[in-house]
Amino acid sequence: MSAEFELSRNITIGQYLPTDSVVHRLDPRFKLAAFVIMILAIAICGTYVGNLFALAICIAMFWVSKIPLHYGLSGVKPAIPFIIILATLQLLFYGEIARGGTVYFQYGFVTISSESVRLVLVSAMRFVEVIFLSSVLTLSTSTTELTHGMERLLGPLQKVKFPVHAFALIITIAIRFVPTFAMEMEKMMKAQASRGADFGTGEWWRIIRRTKDMLPIIIPLFNVALARAEDLILAMEARCYMPGASRTQYTHYKANGKDYAALIISIIISVIMLYIPW
């Protein structure tokens, strides 16, 4: 089969790669907090230099985590069509809203200005940076650790009757199902391609055609998703899972100096990212 159908290779979110690095050994509570702080800083940062600095930090994170960089690059590949569509819309229609920039081209309601160009470049870098950080987080943290870390961080919300455990479980299940659905979709595409179906492989720029070719797979994929969800429900019920029940914790985390250092470093990086001079 063509490499175009190897979808699971391009899905890094939800997979775990044990390399026993410093990042892998961090307390999941501090790791989640550090990554959330950096992602918020990326979302706020609107300068070229700040986002270039963030991109360099994200690439360095792969080296620190001992994770090959091509894992992060393969995670960006599925998002390229969406980034292109969003960039085109921002380039054509944001110039009229932005004020104070230099207008390069104007025709009717279409305005291309320095602000719209800046937004396109900054938004593209933001997408890549968030995908890189999300990939490093999930590749260096198991699903169990994500669940425990998220539940501990949101623990204070239990005082206001917020279902912390259920929320953490839902998020981690959703993350874990991403590569599972990619594998199921890959199987369907290979099965239909073996019967003569054409998915426009090798022509990723023909977004409309590829979208139309993918529509026949959507309904079977939903059926598989519902079947997987039902199997998961039966498995949880067989293990006497009761939502909202009080539970003891088998795993207890104890922070050390490395965990606090990682959190402080993430704060310093975020401050530099937001206040770096133009």
Condensed to tens digits (0 to 9), the pLDDT of residues 19-42 reads 888 888 888 889 999 999 999 999
> What whole-number distance in Å separates Cα of residue 156 and Cα of residue 164?
9
* Mean pLDDT score, 171-181: 79
Compute the chain's Rg from CA coordinates: 22
Q: How many CA atoms lie within 13 A of 184 on its CB side?
A: 17
- The C-alpha torsion from 150 through 156 and 158 to 161, rounded to 10°, is -120
Amino acid type, 165: H
pTM for this predicted structure: 0.75
- Mapping DSSP to helix (H, G, I), strand (E, B) and coil, where does residue 154 land? coil
Beta strand 110-113 with 103-107 is antiparallel
pLDDT given for residue 1 in this prediction? 46
Q: What are phi and psi of 129, to 5 degrees?
A: -65, -45
Count the neighbouring beta carbons within 10 Å of the beta carbon of residue 12.
27
* Mean pLDDT score, 102-109: 70
Contact 58, 110 (CB under 8 A): no
Among 40-49, 96-105, 149-158, 186-195, the range scoring the smallest mean pLDDT is 96-105
Sign of CA dihedral 147, 153, 159, 162: negative
Sign of CA dihedral 163, 266, 264, 47: negative
- Mapping DSSP to helix (H, G, I), strand (E, B) and coil, where does residue 221 land? helix
| Residues 6+ positions from 165 with CB-CB distance below 8 Å | 151, 243, 244, 247
> What whole-number distance in Å separates Cα of residue 174 and Cα of residue 165?
14
Contact 135, 71 (CB under 8 A): yes
> What whole-number distance in Å separates Cα of residue 63 and Cα of residue 119?
29
> What whole-number distance in Å separates Cα of residue 230 and Cα of residue 249?
27
Percent of the chain past pLDDT 70, that is, above it, reads 80
* Mean pLDDT score, 122-149: 86
For residue 193, give both structure tokens.
Answer: 């391609």
> What whole-number distance in Å separates Cα of residue 96 and Cα of residue 111?
6
Percent of the chain past pLDDT 90, that is, above it, reads 13
